[in-house]
Structure 1
Amino acid sequence: MDIVSTAPTPFSQLYGAHHSWLLGLLRRRLSNRWDAADLAQDTFIRVLKRPPAHADEVGERSYLATIARGLCIDHWRRRQLEQAWLQSLAERPAAVQPSIEQRAIIVETLYEVDAMLTRLPRNVRQAFLLAQLHGMPYKQIAVQLGVCERMVKKYMAQALLHCAVLEAELDGLLVQ
């Protein structure tokens, strides 16, 4: 019987050396061991995709903490969106409540839209929200943003392009 001996990979060494530390860090930040465990795993999945260039322990922990911090921010933002959605659902009659599957799809779509809006430049995002949520005409948006109306049209074109890309991505996700 042959026993194959494999040397530990750099990733398994990193995981073994820092998983407990990272889990403790995330538990303190999130006050929830289940979310902390999920985000710790997500952090290491990201590390698999982009390993750290640092070789020392301090550099590795700094890299892991940076990734985990970003994941925490995404987690908190997602929770805020979910809470806002659940609050709006609570105000609707039971007869028009979406199914659990529809709720999950809607929450995921809200999260994607929020992420897309966050990636837009500030003025583009503001112009889009003023037009779409508040129904403001371009001329009024231009005055509020301190730009010409033509610039608002450019902002809207940029935002709508991002919406079209997001819609195509979501369609691809929902069809599969």
Structure 2
Amino acid sequence: MDSQSLTHLYQQHHGWLRGWLHRRLGHAGDAADFAHDTYLRVIESRTALADIREPRAFLTTLAQRVMVSHFRRREVERAYLDALAQSPEELAPSPEERAIVLETLFEIDRLLDSLPPKVRTAFLWAQLDGLPYAEIAERLGVSLSSVKQYMARAIRHCYFPESAA
């Protein structure tokens, strides 16, 4: 990544991005945090900054992804904490165990979110609801062999995420 292009992008558009985020979030501190995370995504991206024709559109897309990711993580955390609140106090995990479980849940959520919708839905119905493949096929309006392919793809993706396409 060309640091000069990154510096130029930051100098030219950081203030605008923070303002855009502030209008959407209603909080200057959150806007600053999300702007920071957006520029981290810029650094992590493989996009050649010199090739970006619409930098604000590029930054907006990345910022929206950062916000969606943040709110999904918050939703997963809230669901986990709600589930913990329903369990007996003597079974409550330690803070370290909670952190490990949350990070695992975030990773599972990220993996599942990267699957096509029908594949993800079939996998979740089978794993969480225990639905038989025939019922999943009927609900999705696909063949039984499609459900089997969806399940194989989801399982492969979850066990070998770096090799799954």
- What are structure 2's unaligned runs of at least 5 residues? none
Number of corresponding residues: 158
**Aligned-partner Cα distance in 2 for 1:125–1:134:** 13
Report percent identity of matched pairs.
Answer: 46
Secondary structure of 1:120's counterpart equals coil
Secondary structure of 1:9's counterpart equals helix
**Aligned-partner Cα distance in 2 for 1:86–1:33:** 27
Structure 1 residues 48 and 72 mapped into 2: Cα distance closer, same or farther (>3 Å)? same
Among 133, 142, 156, which residue is 1:147 paired with? 142
Moved more, 97-106 or 128-137: 97-106
1:120 aligned onto 2:115: yes
Partner of 2:52: 54
> Which letter does structure 2 place at the counterpart of 1:62?
A
Please give the TM-score of this superposition, normalised by the length of structure 1: 0.79
Root-mean-square deviation (CA, aligned residues, Å) is: 2.3
Equivalent pair of 1:127/1:156 in contact (CA under 8 Å): yes
> Within 5 Å, which residues of 2 pair with 1:4-43?
9-43=4-38
1:44 aligned onto 2:39: yes
- What are structure 1's unaligned runs of at least 5 residues? 1-7, 169-176
Structure 1 residues 147 and 11 mapped into 2: Cα distance closer, same or farther (>3 Å)? closer
Among 138, 158, 162, which residue is 2:153 paired with? 158
> Within 5 Å, which residues of 2 pair with 1:93-112?
93-112=88-107
User: Relative contact order (C-alpha < 8 Å, sep 6+): which is higher?
Assistant: 2
**Aligned-partner Cα distance in 2 for 1:31–1:104:** 29
Higher radius of gyration, 1 or 2? 1
